């Protein structure tokens, strides 16, 4: 078999692998061509030339860009189009479900209109499901710089609204800039859990392992977004494994945003071998120029994963997702069919 045909076979196999994506941001799904068009239509200047839009200088620059790009989505139609495009992209990578994160603070045109924003996103995702594309749940995210009262206000609003698309409360943002915020948001996350919402927390990216332990012990996290720096403290790794808390790892994001120098130095495989329920995700796929299949292939090549490991990581993603139990049964059936064809037991 030639090198090219081998690569094609590996890519096809990874594409056919049924999997969920549990750490991905709607804000990270903007296509540069679409952004340039929307900016022109809205008479808004680009922050840098179009061909350099996705050249980021680090996490802070990246987060500022998210605010700028999100500000362009000023209509129901644009937001529905963006949401549909994500579902299509996920499906083309063999994704069958996603927990899609969005942070209302980034979307200036929708401030004070969260109910309308949810309806616009939902309309795009419903259209995608009607076209046979992947199903998607929404994780509404707090920003770390928000106050405790703002956080409680968001949870109370979501609890009263009871939008069927919303599956979880999230918190994201630059932990290095905001500091430890677990105590600040503890009440909001407690209320979210009591209201039946799942809880997912960005931690262990721009914070060290203490961010991961805070997310678990103070916020009752059902899942950690990133979580990779838990590797720096064996006690935190043990905490993840003992409580069976999944982590949503985004390898390319961690390299491009400077968390690790290279894929070879990334601790993902060590965490997996330690018994942590690791999942593979894109974080901000278009902005970081990656796909879900690319992430699986990178890990397969870097760490020498067999098909059995691919299966286990995909199973982790379905188990870790906030999909309804009846959906998970269906997803696992599809995954087991893949396993029966491609794994040696």
pLDDT at residue 294, rounded to an integer: 97
Beta bridge partners of 248: 225, 279
Question: In this predicted structure, which of 168-182, 187-201, 250-264 has the lowest mean pLDDT?
Answer: 168-182
DSSP one-letter code for 286? T
What pLDDT, on a 0 to 100 scale, did the predictor assign at position 62? 79
4 band by pLDDT with thresholds 50, 70 and 90? confident
Q: What percent of the chain has pLDDT over 70?
A: 99
- Mean pLDDT value across residues 211-218: 97
- Rounded-to-integer distance, Cα 128 and Cα 81, Å: 10
Give me 11's structure tokens.
């890519």
- State the average pLDDT over residues 265-287: 97
Place of tokens 């309309």: 123
Residue at token pair 């203490």: 210
In degrees rounded to 5, what are phi and psi of residue 294? -55, -45
Q: What is the pLDDT of residue 3?
A: 57
Section 15-27 average pLDDT: 97
Per DSSP, the three-state class of 22 is strand
Q: What is the mean pLDDT of residues 297-320?
A: 97
How many whole angstroms separate alpha carbon 310 and alpha carbon 328? 18
Give the list of residues 6+ apart from residue 277 with CB closer than 8 angstroms, or none: 240, 244, 245, 246, 247, 316, 319, 320
pLDDT, averaged across the chain: 94
Model pLDDT, residue 136: 98
The answer to whether 320 touches 279, Cβ cutoff 8 Å, is yes
Lowest mean pLDDT among 41-45, 138-142, 341-345: 341-345
Q: How confident is the model at residue 2 (pLDDT cuts 50, 70, 90)?
A: low
State the pLDDT at residue 120: 98
Contact 338/17 with Cβ under 8 angstroms? yes
DSSP-assigned states of every residue in 122-165? HHHHHHHHHTT--EEEEEEEEETTS-HHHHHHHHHHHHHH--TT
Domain count for the chain: 1
Which pTM was predicted? 0.94
- Torsion angle, CA of 168/227/28/109, rounded to 10 degrees? 50
**Better-scored residue on pLDDT, 22 or 50:** 22
CATH number for position 142: 3.20.20.140
Q: Is the pLDDT of residue 1 over 60?
A: no
pLDDT digits (tens, 9 = 90+) for 162-180: 999 999 999 998 877 777 8
pLDDT of res. 53: 87
pLDDT computed for residue 345 by the predictor: 61
The range of the structural domain enclosing residue 8 comes to: 3-342
- pLDDT tens track for 66-119: 888 888 998 999 999 999 999 999 999 999 999 999 999 999 889 999 999 999
- pLDDT tens by residue, 133-164: 999 999 999 999 999 999 999 999 999 999 99
Q: In which element (H, E) is residue 46 found?
A: none
């Amino acid at each position: 078999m030639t090198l090219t045909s081998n690569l094609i076979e590996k890519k096809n196999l990874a594409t056919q692998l049924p999997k969920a994506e549990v750490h991905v941001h709607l804000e990270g799904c903007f296509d540069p061509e679409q952004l340039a068009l929307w900016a022109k239509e809205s008479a808004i200047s680009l922050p840098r030339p179009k061909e350099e839009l996705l050249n980021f200088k680090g996490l802070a620059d990246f987060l500022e860009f998210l605010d700028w790009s999100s500000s362009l989505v000023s209509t129901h139609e644009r937001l529905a189009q963006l949401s549909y495009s994500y579902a299509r992209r996920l499906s083309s990578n063999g994704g069958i479900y996603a927990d899609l994160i969005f942070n209302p603070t980034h979307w200036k045109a929708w401030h004070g209109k969260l109910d309308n924003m949810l309806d616009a996103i939902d309309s795009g995702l419903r259209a995608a499901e009607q076209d046979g594309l992947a199903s998607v749940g929404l994780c509404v995210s707090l920003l770390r710089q928000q106050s405790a009262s703002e956080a409680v206000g968001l949870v109370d609003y979501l609890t009263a609204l009871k939008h069927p698309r919303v599956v979880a409360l999230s918190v994201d943002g630059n932990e290095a800039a905001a500091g430890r915020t677990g105590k600040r948001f503890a009440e909001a996350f407690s209320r979210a859990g009591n209201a039946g919402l799942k809880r997912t927390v960005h931690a262990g990216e721009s914070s060290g392992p203490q961010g991961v332990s805070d997310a678990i012990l103070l916020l009752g996290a059902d899942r950690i977004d990133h979580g990779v720096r838990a590797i720096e403290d064996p006690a935190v790794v043990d905490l993840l494994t003992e409580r069976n808390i999944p982590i949503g790892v985004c390898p390319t994001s961690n390299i491009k945003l400077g968390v690790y120098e290279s894929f070879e130095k990334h601790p993902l495989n060590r965490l997996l071998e330690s018994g942590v329920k690791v999942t593979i995700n894109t974080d901000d796929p278009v902005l970081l120029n990656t796909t879900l299949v690319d992430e699986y292939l990178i890990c397969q090549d870097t760490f020498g994963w067999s098909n059995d490991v691919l299966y286990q990581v995909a199973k982790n993603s379905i188990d870790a997702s906030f999909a309804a139990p009846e959906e998970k049964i269906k997803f696992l059936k599809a995954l087991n069919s893949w396993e029966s064809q491609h794994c040696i037991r």
